[in-house]
Chain A
Amino acid sequence: MKLKTALMGAVACFAMAPAAFAERGADGNVKVLYSQAVSIMNAYLSSGTKDVEAGSLVLEPLAGFNEAGDVIPRLVTEIPSVENGGISEDLTTITWKLIPGLLWSDGTPVTADDAVFTYEYCTHPEGGCAQAARYEGIASVEAVDPATVKITFDGPKPNPFTAFVGATSPILQKAQFANCLGAAAPTCTEANFNPIGTGPFVVTDFKVNDVVEMAANPNYRDPAKPAFATLTLKGGGDAAGAARAVMETGEFDYAWNTQINPELQAQMEAGGKGKFVNAFGTLVERIEMNMTDPSADLPEGERATAKHPHPILSDLNVRKALSMAIDRQLLVDVGYGAAGRATCNLVPAPEIYASPNTDCIAQDMEGAKALLEQAGWTDSDGDGIREKDGKKFTLLYQTSVNAVRQDFQALIKGWWNELGVEVELKAIDGGVYFGGDPGSPDTFQKFYADVEMYANNFDGTDPEPYLAQYTCEKAPRPETQWQGENINRFCDPAYDAMVVELAQTRDMEARGALARKMNEVLTKDTYVVVPLVDRGRLSAHSNTLGGVVLNTWDSELWNASDWFRVK
């Protein structure tokens, strides 16, 4: 009898196990560590990645991106397309259908009015909305019925997945934010710190720039999720400390952006407590060639402007030779390990926009030397430095202060010295270099150097605005207070025409082909931009945390509702 009871108990346990596994809140607490602390939960009032990602646990957009960069539904029944009638034939409207019966975490229904309100909130003329770019080109957003949102654009929009798509444009609850429009937005502390959302978690305690405590959303649309009852999101520290907290001490289950040197990565992984996960997005470490003369002899206001072309780097063969002398794979091995890969492209992803160009991967020192000889740069006086018309080949190479970048500088200087180029290095504090202060001579926009190195990427999956940065009129110059995205002052009317053409091209295949061509114009045809490393995102999670899928196209915590405890 006793045996029978025990057996039945065991059977019952086994039968219950899968059910228990799929129950909301069954897995207790999960601890997440961000090396930058969260200061607000509302993505519209902060451009900081950490705030956007923390907010994504609570506030959700209509649709998001998956790890491949495809648009996936979140609060809607399906992704609109021209085929299913969600996008109009002329590409000027897009219509979203909300999931029926969807509730906010306070139990009230989600309606199309909330989306309309969100649009008004971010485009309010008095409010400084950090994500206004996602709502550009919209003529109106209207609620056709409580479950249908219709967006009308100013003109045909080949990529309509900007508004309400991705973690940077979530839906706010109208009832909660109604009094927070425009200038009042930052004053609504309670709403900004404890927003009512549709995501898997709700905020229970918010300590600014320290820790956010969350609990499972009782009204989440999937009754079995999230598996964790509570989530603790701690902020602060640095990348190495965050990696250590997951990989060595096991205090945390997940750490964001654990960019550390490859040796340390290998050593921590050998500990066996956790794993590094990486995914590649569009972040490319590159060298930009200055097309204008940054010489200090020129008067202020003319220095580094289109009035004076660069005396050395204006020659295509010179730029090409400098690129050929670089061994990109070695740079990856030294600086990034698993979190990087050599690239020749400015736009390395998504696949449809990525050029198959791999010409630059193999280092060709002899070819580079021959190219310089051909361009007229010869070492006539035997001092190891090439000259042409009495001018020595010397370059000033600047970047921000960062251990990996300084290693890159030293390596690249070595190769260029071998080529017969004298290189002077300069490292500038990141706050100044990227600070954009027009009064400082050391900003990357001012570019008072011959070549400079930094990394940049584009938001979302469409490279159009990114490629459009390299038009003539976007060059930083005194008239624009040294603002502008065309850092190297590349100017080619043919390229400008391609930018206009890209904006008018609707067919995806044609867009891809054109974008690939534009990428090649900037890289392998002109070597104005010399891409070095495609930098992936590297995060760490403990072996006891399951379901982690790293995503570079959306919030890193995009699928936190699917996370579970490995038992």
Chain B
Amino acid sequence: MTDTLPAAAVEAAFKPPRSQWRDVWDQFRTHKGAMVGAVVLALLIFFVLFGAFIWRIDPAFIEPDAVKMIRSRNQPPSWAHPLGTDQLGRDMLARMIAGGRVSLAVGLTAMLIAILLGTTVGVLAGYFRRLDGPLMRMTDLFLALPLLPLLLVMVLLFRDKLAGVFGPELGTFLLIVFAIGVTSWMQSARIVRGEVLALKEREFVLAARSIGTPSRRMILRHILPNVMSPIMVAATLGIASAIITESALSFLGLGFPPDFPTWGRLLFDGVDYLQQYPERVIWPGLAISLTVLSVNYIGDGLRDALDPRIRGR
């Protein structure tokens, strides 16, 4: 009369409940592209963070002796210089490491700022009807502003002041990161607002509201996790465009000081030598492409993993 449960079911019942993040990770793992992307990005980050401790050549070092300097220029790859040297005899590997550090830091930080701003504006506009009008008009205003002239004006106005407080390199870094961040949050704000507007009408939100959940918890607990996937996609695209915007600024002479390598600058410097030494363009180009591609795949995988409607299928 008493049916015994199958052993497997008993075992499952005694196991601690699986956490949400465990599920996310399991789902993420099944996305091959995302896994490859994560490994590549991890390798790139390892390369730029710890590369300088292993490869100890100064990226700005130029042979002081004129004869040696002339000989050290435009070297092909060798054991002494695995990626060769540039037109002034500087080691390309060391420059790639130093440049990557800046480019990745700019990309990630600017993306974080943009996402933070965009999500905040989007959620507030979508959730609070009173704020919707003013916030969205502000978004339109920012969208209508031409990006590059705005950046130029910001750089012109604040560069000297920031450089005075933080030193030229950190000052420029903060300025560029901030400038790119505050000029690229609008798309994500619009996307997030749209999602929030749709979510607000759903039953679970109504249910949560009926038991008196305060707005703060409502947003953090019910709304945000559900808009995570569009935010992720916007974020991954943001990293790529931030790296490229930094390159454009450096090219216009408004980014970092010219002797300060970034991947974008290495790429632009190499263009003059494209025909003779194509590797000068290929290495930084490859690094930028790999970063952008791997981040995009990770974003793709994360979106699938984070969306409760897709997860488990």
Residue positions of A touching B, CB distance < 8 A? 240, 261, 263-264, 267, 296, 327, 329-330, 333-334, 363, 400-401, 403, 406-407, 409-411, 413-415, 418, 424-429, 432, 440-442
Contacts and interface: CB of A to CB of B under 8 A. Distances in A.
A261 B156 contact: no
B156 A410 contact: no
A330 B64 CA distance: 11
Contacts of B62: 410-411, 414
A403 B90 CA distance: 15
Given A261-B87, A401-B251, A425-B258, A410 B60 contact: yes
B276 A263 contact: yes
A261 B273 contact: yes
Contact of A296 (B69, B164, B273, B276): B164
A34 B143 CA distance: 40
B257 A424 contact: yes
B168 interface: yes
17 contacts: A261-B272, A267-B275, A296-B160, A327-B66, A329-B66, A333-B70, A401-B251, A403-B272, A406-B258, A407-B87, A407-B88, A409-B259, A410-B88, A414-B64, A424-B257, A427-B258, A429-B252
B70 to A, nearest CB: 6
Interface string B143-186: 00000000000001000110010001000000000000000000
Nearest to A413: B259
A189 to B, nearest CB: 33
Contacts of B66: 327, 329-330, 363
B205 interface: no
A409 B258 contact: yes
Given A261-B272, A264-B275, A401-B252, A418 B64 contact: yes
Nearest to A363: B66
B259 A429 contact: no
Interface string B45-79: 00000000000000010101010011001100000
A329 B66 CA distance: 9
Given A261-B273, A407-B88, A427-B253, 19 more contacts: A261-B87, A263-B74, A263-B276, A267-B276, A296-B160, A296-B164, A330-B66, A406-B258, A406-B259, A409-B258, A409-B259, A410-B90, A410-B259, A411-B88, A414-B62, A414-B64, A426-B253, A440-B156, A442-B156
Contacts of A441: 156, 160
Interface in B251-265: 251-254, 257-259
B269 interface: yes
B136 to A, nearest CB: 34
A289 B160 CA distance: 20
Question: What 3 A-B pairs come out closest when comparing CB atoms?
Answer: A427-B258, A401-B253, A427-B253
A435 B65 CA distance: 37
B70 A330 contact: yes
Contacts of A330: 66, 69-70
Contacts of A400: 253
A411 B87 CA distance: 11
Contacts of A411: 62, 88
A414 B259 CA distance: 11
Q: Point out which of A240, A264, A363, A414 has the most chain B C-beta atoms below 10 A from its C-beta.
A: A414
Contacts of A426: 253, 257-258
Interface in B270-285: 272-273, 275-276
Contacts of A264: 273, 275-276
Nearest to A327: B66
Contact of A424 (B88, B90, B168, B269): B168
Contacts of B272: 240, 261, 403
Interface in B220-266: 251-254, 257-259
B176 to A, nearest CB: 15
Contacts of A240: 272
Contacts, number: 73
Contacts of A334: 73, 87-88
Nearest to A407: B88
A410 B257 CA distance: 11
A403 B259 contact: no
Contacts of B273: 261, 263-264
B252 to A, nearest CB: 5
Contacts of A261: 87, 272-273
A110 B147 CA distance: 56
Nearest to A263: B276
A415 B64 contact: yes
Contacts of A333: 70
Contact of A429 (B73, B74, B88, B254): B254
Contacts of B275: 264, 267
A340 to B, nearest CB: 15
Contacts of B269: 403, 406
A424 B276 CA distance: 31
A264 B251 CA distance: 22
Contacts of B254: 429
Nearest to A408: B88
Contacts of B252: 401, 429
A263 to B, nearest CB: 6
B39 to A, nearest CB: 35
Contacts of A263: 74, 273, 276
Contacts of A329: 66
Q: Point out which of B62, B253, B275 has the most chain A C-beta atoms below 10 A from its C-beta.
A: B253
A400 B74 CA distance: 24
A425 B259 contact: yes
Contacts of A296: 160-161, 164
A85 B69 CA distance: 59
A439 to B, nearest CB: 9
B256 to A, nearest CB: 10
Contacts of A401: 251-253, 258
A240 B272 CA distance: 9
Contacts of A424: 168, 257
B121 to A, nearest CB: 32
B200 to A, nearest CB: 47
A399 to B, nearest CB: 9
Nearest to A333: B70
A442 B254 CA distance: 11
B253 A425 contact: no
A403 B87 CA distance: 11
A407 B251 CA distance: 14
A35 to B, nearest CB: 15
Contacts of B69: 330
Contacts of B70: 330, 333
B22 to A, nearest CB: 51
Nearest to B157: A441
B273 to A, nearest CB: 7
Contacts of B90: 410
Nearest to B276: A263
Contacts of A429: 252-254
A267 B276 CA distance: 9
Contacts of B161: 296
Nearest to A432: B253
A112 B121 CA distance: 76
A426 B171 CA distance: 14
Contacts of B276: 263-264, 267
Contacts of B253: 400-401, 426-429, 432
Contacts of B88: 334, 407, 410-411
